[in-house]
Structure 1
Amino acid sequence: MKNKVIFFLFSFLLFIEAKAQCAMCRAVLESEESQTAAEGINDGIVYLMAIPYILVAGIGYFIYKNYNTLKK
């Protein structure tokens, strides 16, 4: 159990620092003087990418929990 918690925390910390821009977005946003728009685009892409994974993980946990309670 301890290994699972450590793995989850390690994965979550790596996820926070993700940079998620396509090549075209990066080229357009690097030409600007201020990098605030690029940071906003990165945050938006990571946010949109995270929601489906969180939902699937929640549904998987719910199914796992129900399956184990029915077994007992």
Structure 2
Amino acid sequence: MKKVLAWGILALLLSCGLSLLPLSAQAQCTMCKTQVEASRTEKSGYDTTGLNKGILYLMTIPYVLIGTVGFFWYRNSQKKKQALH
């Protein structure tokens, strides 16, 4: 149990550390990057300042949901193991 807790803390620290990377390391797909570069050259281009944050937000939600389901699944399986012993 302590080993699992240590791995969980390590994973949490790693994810927090990775989220503090410089802004230049933010995610952006190829299609979005091409669109942003094309709109920068146009004078009437739309505002693209929040594009990276939107991409990161949309990318984060599935990982949080899968992590939550995995956590409750693990916790439930541990309770069943303890009930059998």
Cα shift at 1:41:
0.6
Check 1:70–1:3 CA distance in 2 against 1; reply closer, same or farther (3 A cut).
Answer: closer
Aligned residues: 69
* 1:13-58 Cα distance to aligned partner (Å, 9 max, x none): 313545111234223324528xx62x41100000000000000000
Q: Distance in 2 between matches of 1:15 and 1:46?
A: 10
State TM-score, norm by structure 2. 0.62
List runs of 5+ in structure 2 lacking aligned partners. 42-46
CA distance in 2, matches of 1:52, 1:64: 18
Off by >3 Å, runs of 4+ in structure 1: 1-4, 15-18
Q: Which has the larger radius of gyration?
A: 2
Q: Which runs of 5+ in 1 are unaligned?
A: none
2:55 to 24, 45, 63: 45
Percent identity, please: 39
